Structure 1
Amino acid sequence: MSEISKLKLFLNTIRYLKPIQVRYRVFYFLRKKLRGSLRINDSKTVYKITCTRLNLLPSIFSNSTYFSNNSFEFLNLQHNFPNKVDWDFSGYGRLWTYNLNYFEFLLQKDLSKEDGIKLIDDFIDTIDKNPTGIEPYPLSLRIMNWIKFIVYHQINPEKYKDILWAQVQLLKKQKEYHLLGNHLLENGFALLYGAYFFNDRGIYNQAKKILIKELNRQILDDGAHFELSLMYHSLMTYRVMDCYNLVICNDLFDQELKSFFKEKAELMLSFSQKISYQNGDIPLMNDAANGIAPSNEALFSYAGSLGLIVRESKLSHSGYRKLTNEIFDLCFDVGEVGPTYQPGHAHADTLSFELYIHNRPVIVDTGTSTYEV
């Protein structure tokens, strides 16, 4: 490719981005060049920090991905680490490594408290040698999963307060404004959990600012998440309900987020109910697969336990449309690929459709794979 062609490609790419994305991409690039990569030790504190014993109502169990003796399965690929877990293992690609570092297996039904603690301690021992683990997206999910595990198993929060504080501080330094979309939302959710865990109003104000702005931007009028992946919509719905759970069970800050999360969760649940097939399946258009996000059954059950109401709604701004009778469900996508500045979950699925007959898939989407080429 000639230099002129490269320049044209570059200009055609950045013209869709928001100024804040360009600004932060340049800032993070220069910071890395001048100061090197961020390290977890850079965020450890030299002064005494305090943490809070939190309360939470039961949430949704995660899918089983840990099978004892350091054996994990993600993306239908299983791997056993003979002696010690390599938390930066790259044998199955980047997405597999990301899943390993999320620590969602801490919330699976059959994982014991002892096994969870062992895995956390093992991770901490090698965190300085694990660049994937301190990237902002896996960092965000792990912060939330560790805190939930600590609360549900009634572990003394003092045990992990220093390493959690370091991770929250590291996340504050690399919020994903260069990407926006669901990545920035996950950063905000994690900071909210960190704010409650440490009873820190400064972190709370950061989280609140991100979440109010981004949820208002990212949740469309019909309740769909604006990146238009039904899987990510379910994940974001789950996350909003978890945050609602957090704020109603712990009276630490102002109550503005309580009503805000309730309104958004009910709107998103209503969209989930409207778009889903009669057997409860979600359309797998755009970036979506089964077994990643919680099922509709789990989401609606969780909503009921939180006192959330699922209302009747109409499909509109999402661009999804559905025809249904007693025999078939036909769902089709006639909307935009997603936000022009973040179309990463579109997967070339514009004008795609799926057909279910008698609750069984007949015409299906082509599906998704990994980050590898």
Structure 2
Amino acid sequence: MNFGRLFNTIRWLKPSQVIGRPWFALKRKLLTAGNPGKLCKLACELKGQLPLDRQVPFVLSFLNLSRQFVPAEMKWHSREFPAETEKLWLYNLNYFNWLFDGQLDGKPQLQLYLILDWIEKNDSSRSETWEPYVVSRRLCNWVMWLQQQNGSDEPYSDCVHQSVSGQCQRLWFDLEYHLQANHLLENLRALFVTTVFLVEQAGELSADLEYRLEYCAKELIAQIRLQFFADGGHFERSPMYHLEMLEAVESVRQANRRLLQFAPPESSLLKQARILETLCEDRVPLLRDWLAVMTHPDGKIAQFNDATMKAGISRKGRPMNYLLDSSGFFVRRTDDSYFVMSCGDPSPAFQPGHTHCDIMSFEFSLTGLRCIVDTGCGSYQNAQIREECRQTSAHNLPMIEHAEQSDIWAQFRIGKRARVIHRYFDSEHNRFEMEMLDQFGQRYRREVIFADSSIKVRDRMFDRRVTGTFISLLHLAPQVQVVHGNEPGSYSFNIGNCEFRIATSARLRFEGYVWYPDFGLPVNAEKLILSNHATEAIDYVISWKTS
């Protein structure tokens, strides 16, 4: 075991994370919620009464992988699937998002059958299908489903309602304080939204549920304040997780509006609900503004850190430069181009599991089409793909060949890490500059100078401590085509109706790589490797013409 790596990983943890891990494991082992075994018998009886052909197959697709199921032989657990099945795929199966994503539209009996089947076959609240993050996502979906039933199919809805109550109790025991970050906010959101629903259904507010709601409101206030920077960005610096946490905060806001209708007057619960209301009303527009800035002209988010190409927020506005100083991004948007650069530390320091080695990396679009892209996020479970996507060479930045910015290890760990020491935008000269120290103490400097139809990039390195060639990388989007007949030092490319050129005095070679616009979706593409064996300096210019 590498004790230095282990020390540099755990020294950033909060005490609640250190203490919380064994405490969480103990609670998972000792505590139970309700009597899911008894409820599973009821679910078995009820699903047998449904007018549904249990032998008609159907297909569910997540993470670009489709599987065919037969209702009578439905599977929920990892032991029932091939060993290579991604855990995240199984999580998505148990989230029940597919109740609302169109895959089972027009099949209400099948939807109800599958919910009852899950209740029947998941009788142990300590199993993997009852892990708190999975429970959190499933609860929100089942509550939405119940709200749409409007009292129809009462025996069936009552069974689902009982299961929701039991899962809510299990989640109350299992809040993920040992993990923190998006997991904890998702737990609190689900617990809050579900408890509000349960109170509304019961028609009365018991002392236990009042205490739970007040606790959730206080914790949500604390976590929303903690997890979002002053500029609106989520502190894990992933546009994908920002999108998910924005959705969480919006659902909390909606549930809290309903809570305000029945919270006892002059109660501590009402006081916390009003604070939460003010906080959500203040933060949601800011969170949406941040997401709009981080959305490419194609309507999809930037792929920094763990992020796939999900739909963002498209807004038409005048050309502008944005330095999102708190969350660590610089964005320049013009009539025909979009440039976004990562200029922030691994974040948060106590849980950087979704961080990549991408400080100084950028993405670039022309006329609404991506030209230079991030490698993306292909898998959480496949160790090789996970490392390939997180490592420094997967991004558009300067580096010493084979020397990582930060010490990434396992799937979600970082030991010794890089840090940004300077960033500044000179609006008078349209120039952005930044400096960082990598894990070895080597200092890198990147300067980007913007003109109407060109971008000049100047990369420098100081205080070398690791042997290797100084290089700078550019990952081309798969749609980019190389124009043949280039002169030495100047290379032309086509994408759509646009031509762009990269000019440099550095040596340049092409190399294949795999781009992941989504989990489980590998796309072959090419990257440019610029190198300078004589000195730690590389300059290049990207210029373009649009028709």
Length-normalised TM-score, structure 1: 0.81
Distance of 1:235 and 1:86 partners within structure 2? 27
Asked if structure 1 preserves the Cα contact closer than 8 Å seen for 2:337 and 2:365, the reply is yes
2:90 maps to 97
Distance of 2:379 and 2:106 partners within structure 1? 27
User: How many aligned residue pairs are there?
Assistant: 330
| RMSD (Å) for aligned C-alpha atoms | 2.6
Aligned with 1:148 (options 127, 137, 144): 144
Question: Residue 377 of structure 2 aligns to a residue in which SS?
Answer: coil
Length-normalised TM-score, structure 2: 0.56
1:327 maps to 336
Cα gap change, 1:202/1:171 in structure 2, threshold over 3 Å: closer, same or farther?
same
> Is the aligned partner of 1:269 residue 2:284?
no
Cα gap change, 1:350/1:252 in structure 2, threshold over 3 Å: closer, same or farther?
farther
Question: Residue 330 of structure 2 aligns to a residue in which SS?
Answer: strand
Where do 1:1-373 residues align within 5 Å?
A: 1=1, 5=2, 7-31=3-27, 36=29, 39-41=32-34, 69-82=57-70, 83-89=72-78, 90-91=81-82, 92-109=85-102, 110=105, 112-128=107-123, 131-155=127-151, 156=154, 158-199=158-199, 200-249=209-258, 251-253=261-263, 254=270, 255-256=273-274, 257-291=276-310, 295-296=312-313, 315-372=324-381, 373=383
Question: Residue 349 of structure 2 aligns to a residue in which SS?
Answer: coil
Q: Which has the higher contact order (CA 8 A, sep 6+)?
A: 1
Distance of 1:260 and 1:205 partners within structure 2? 15
Structure with more of its chain in helix, by fraction: 1
Q: Deviations over 1:22-41 (max 9, x none)?
A: 01012224456xxx365555
Cα gap change, 1:112/1:252 in structure 2, threshold over 3 Å: closer, same or farther?
farther
Asked if structure 2 preserves the Cα contact closer than 8 Å seen for 1:39 and 1:128, the reply is no
Question: Residue 123 of structure 2 aligns to a residue in which SS?
Answer: helix
Asked if structure 1 preserves the Cα contact closer than 8 Å seen for 2:322 and 2:332, the reply is no
Q: How far off its partner does 1:278 sit?
A: 3.0
Cα gap change, 1:81/1:215 in structure 2, threshold over 3 Å: closer, same or farther?
same
Q: How far off its partner does 1:314 sit?
A: 6.2
Cα gap change, 1:129/1:45 in structure 2, threshold over 3 Å: closer, same or farther?
closer
Q: How far off its partner does 1:276 sit?
A: 1.8
Aligned AA (1:97): L
Cα gap change, 1:210/1:275 in structure 2, threshold over 3 Å: closer, same or farther?
same
Q: Deviations over 1:338-362 (max 9, x none)?
A: 1111101112222221000001000
1:307 maps to none
Asked if structure 2 preserves the Cα contact closer than 8 Å seen for 1:222 and 1:313, the reply is no
Cα gap change, 1:45/1:271 in structure 2, threshold over 3 Å: closer, same or farther?
farther
Q: Deviations over 1:132-171 (max 9, x none)?
A: 2100001001111100111123245534222111101101
Q: Deviations over 1:37-58 (max 9, x none)?
A: 6555568999xxxxxxxxxxxx
Question: Residue 23 of structure 2 aligns to a residue in which SS?
Answer: helix
Cα gap change, 1:87/1:272 in structure 2, threshold over 3 Å: closer, same or farther?
same
Q: How far off its partner does 1:93 sit?
A: 1.5
Asked if structure 1 preserves the Cα contact closer than 8 Å seen for 2:76 and 2:129, the reply is yes
Distance of 2:27 and 2:4 partners within structure 1? 26
Larger radius of gyration: 2
Structure with more of its chain in strand, by fraction: 2
Structure 1 consecutive aligned stretches of length 4 or more whose deviation exceeds 4 Å = 37-46
- Structure 1 unaligned segments of length 5 or more: list them: 47-67, 301-311
Distance of 2:293 and 2:224 partners within structure 1? 20
Asked if structure 2 preserves the Cα contact closer than 8 Å seen for 1:73 and 1:79, the reply is yes
Q: How far off its partner does 1:319 sit?
A: 0.5
Moved more, 257-266 or 145-154: 257-266
Distance of 2:248 and 2:131 partners within structure 1? 19
Cα gap change, 1:178/1:10 in structure 2, threshold over 3 Å: closer, same or farther?
same
Distance of 1:281 and 1:335 partners within structure 2? 21
Q: How far off its partner does 1:224 sit?
A: 0.4
